[in-house]
Amino acid sequence: MSSLRLAALSAALVTLAGCAVGPHYSRPSAVVPPAYKELPQGMKPAEPADQLARGKWWEVYGDPQLNALEEKVRVSNQSLKAAVAQFEQARALVRYQRADFYPTITAGAAGSRNHISRNRAVASSFSPTNYSDIQMPVVGVSYEPDLFGRVRHTVEAARTSAQASAGDVENVSLSIHAALAVDYFQLRSLDAEEELLNSSVATFQKALDLTQNRYQGGVASAVDVAQAQTQLETTRAQATDVQVARAQYEHAIAVLIGEPASSFSIENSPLKETPPAIPVGLPSDLLERRPDIAAAERRVASANEEVGLARAAYFPTISLSGNGGFESTSLTNLLSGPSGFFSAGASALVTVFDVGRRRAVTEESHALLDQTAANYREDVLVAFEEVEDNLAALRILAQEAETQQAAVAAAEHSVQLSLNRYKGGVANYLEVTTNQGIALSNERVAVQIRGRRMVSSVQLIQALGGGWNSSEMPGGKIPNLPASATGQ
């Protein structure tokens, strides 16, 4: 009969444990478009061989100076180091929670010298009043069988949180590398703008010299000289003003690569390139290529485990314990057989009435699951928005660049005509300065559009995940992050 009772109790515990498992997790559904609306004409979805380089996506620009700066980010950026340290904390928490799957064993020793009062209530004239009590070694074992999934859900929640933290590291890394590339191309765009202004200063200086000579010869008026002088000095001031913005971008790059701004500088190198072709892939691939989306999805999985953990609170907590060792009043017979002792036991504790506390925790966990699922879907929508924004920017800016080049050509032709008219005495110098100002303005806009196109290409790569893939997410054992993320 005792065997039957034990079998029935075991079957009941197994059944209860089966009820405690869950809930089953599946990735939240998200709306994924069949194609990108803003895909530029002539650009096709990427084939497998066309994907961005894993990790070092910035090499697509073929700029050695940019490559060198990006490499410094991986080892020197403090924000990235902080994100890695946060992941290490999450990884350590997984190991901490996983330890509950195994028994806890303690070992110790104790000794005391005691004097007992003869006037105590149960005192006896034959009892010694002074004695020693030595216990050594004393070994204790405690263990909580995970029959109802409490430990299992706790470990899984910590594991998925650590995976989310790993996704955060990759997202921080991607954001910092993209910020560096954006600052770099904006700096080089300013270099191109400064080169244009300096070239214009040289041209306007020659024009001023010509006008002064014509004035001295009685052909031009003092007004013409003043206009030429004004145009020259205005352009010089514009060239100087560009240096302010350039210095700020240079300092920002210094911070991103972990160097003091005071000891960092970049040589002038005017931007001449146009954006390379960026393989965008299919919209369905975006969910696998964005580390922030992967992190958001892992947080949903963690919240799902919190629901299971809240459900486990309705079941008993079963504990097994035991301890043993040797105890004696003297060291001489401490390790003898009669000095040995041991004890073993089991306990079960279940909450019978808690005024709705467990129900409230369960409702909270369900609400948290709904919240993280909604955040995940929002992140997906934002991801597609960012891709479409930058695809549209690249498409429209390419068209604008063509139109602007036509405007530049027309403005330069107008300048040449006005100069010929001025030299021939048909037009005054105001016509020349006006057309020169228009031409310079159009040339500056063309340079700025080229810089905006490069920035948009970087932002598109960032929106696409920078060549990262969710298969790079740490698995069940939560190993160290790859060297590409840590810089080690």
Provide the percentage of residues in the chain whose pLDDT is more than 70. 88
Cα 119 to chain centroid distance, Å, stands at 72
> How far apart are the C-alpha atoms of 118 and 129, rounded to whole Å?
7
Categorize the per-residue pLDDT at 380 as very low, low, confident or very high, splitting at 50, 70 and 90. very high
- Alpha-carbon distance of 488 to 483, in angstroms, equals 5
Cis? peptide before 276, omega within 30° of 0: no
Locus of tokens 């530049």: 408
Amino acid identity, position 307:
V
Return the structure tokens found at 159.
């594991």
Q: What's the Rg (C-alpha) of the chain?
A: 38
Contacts of 472 (CB under 8 A, 6+ apart): 170, 482
Q: Kindly report the pTM of this predicted structure.
A: 0.83
Q: Is the pLDDT of residue 484 over 80?
A: no
Residues facing residue 341 across a β-bridge: 325
First to last CA, the chain: 64
Q: In Å, what is the CA distance from 157 to each residue of 17, 145, 476, 477?
A: 18, 19, 12, 13
Q: What structural domains does the chain harbor? A: 25-101+147-314+357-486 (1.20.1600.10), 104-116+129-145+316-349 (2.20.200.10)
Q: How many C-beta atoms surround the C-beta of residue 120 within 10 A?
A: 10
Report whether 184 contacts 69 (CB < 8 A).
yes
Please say if the pLDDT value at position 7 is more than 70: no
Average pLDDT, the chain: 86
Phi first, then psi: give them for residue 354, nearest 5 degrees.
-135, 20
Higher pLDDT, 124 or 62: 62
Are residues 162 and 90 in contact, defined by beta-carbon separation less than 8 angstroms?
yes
pLDDT, tens digit (0-9, with 9 covering 90-100), for 278-308: 888 888 889 889 999 999 999 999 999 999 9
Cα 396 to Cα 375, 388, 400, 453: the distances in Å are: 31, 12, 6, 9
Average pLDDT over residues 323-350: 83
| CA–CA gap between residue 213 and residue 226 (Å, rounded) | 13
CA distances (Å), origin 164, targets 29, 73, 299? 18, 22, 6
pLDDT given for residue 40 in this prediction: 66
Which pLDDT value is given to residue 186?
Answer: 97
Alpha carbon 323 to its chain's center? 48
Pairing of strands 130-143, 317-328: antiparallel
Task: pLDDT band for 130, please (50, 70, 90 cuts).
Answer: confident
Q: Look up tokens 């004890």; give the residue.
A: 343
Tokens linked to 282 = 């299919």
**What confidence category does residue 127 fall into, taking pLDDT thresholds of 50, 70 and 90?**
low
- Secondary structure of the chain in HEC code, one letter for each residue: CHHHHHHHHHHHHHHHHHHHCCCCCCCCCCCCCCCCCCCCCCCCCCCHHHCCCCCCHHHHHCCHHHHHHHHHHHHHCHHHHHHHHHHHHHHHHHHHHHHHHCCEEEEEEEEEEEECCCCCCCCCCCCCCEEEEEEEEEEEEEECCCCCCHHHHHHHHHHHHHHHHHHHHHHHHHHHHHHHHHHHHHHHHHHHHHHHHHHHHHHHHHHHHHHHHHHHCCCCCHHHHHHHHHHHHHHHHHHHHHHHHHHHHHHHHHHHCCCCHHHCCCCCCCCCCCCCCCCCCCHHHHHHHCHHHHHHHHHHHHHHHHHHHHHHCCCCEEEEEEEEEEEECCCCCCCCHHHEEEEEEEEEECCCCCCCHHHHHHHHHHHHHHHHHHHHHHHHHHHHHHHHHHHHHHHHHHHHHHHHHHHHHHHHHHHHHHHHHHHCCCCCHHHHHHHHHHHHHHHHHHHHHHHHHHHHHHHHHHHCCCCCCHHHCCCCCCCCCCHHHHCC
CB 278 within 8 A of CB 61: no
* 285: nearest Cα among 72, 3, 33: 33
Q: Region 169-176: what's the mean pLDDT?
A: 93
Q: For residues 272 and 127, which has the higher predicted lDDT (pLDDT)? A: 272
- Is the pLDDT assigned to residue 78 strictly greater than 60? yes
- In tens, the pLDDT along 428-454 reads 888 889 999 999 999 999 999 999 999
User: In the structure encoding, which two tokens stand for residue 370, read together?
Assistant: 């709904």
The tokens describing 388, both together, are 């479409």
**Residue 36 to residues 276, 384, 458: CA-CA distances in angstroms?**
19, 8, 18
Q: What are phi and psi of 133, to 5 degrees?
A: -130, 115
High-pLDDT (> 90) share of the chain, %: 58
**Angstrom distance (rounded) from CA 474 to CA 159:** 10
For residue range 178-193, list pLDDT tens digits in order.
Answer: 999 999 999 999 999 9
Predicted confidence (pLDDT) per residue in 200-209, tens digit: 999 999 989 9
Q: Predicted confidence band at 258 (pLDDT cuts at 50, 70, 90)?
A: very high
Half-sphere exposure of 309 (CA within 13 A, CB side): 19
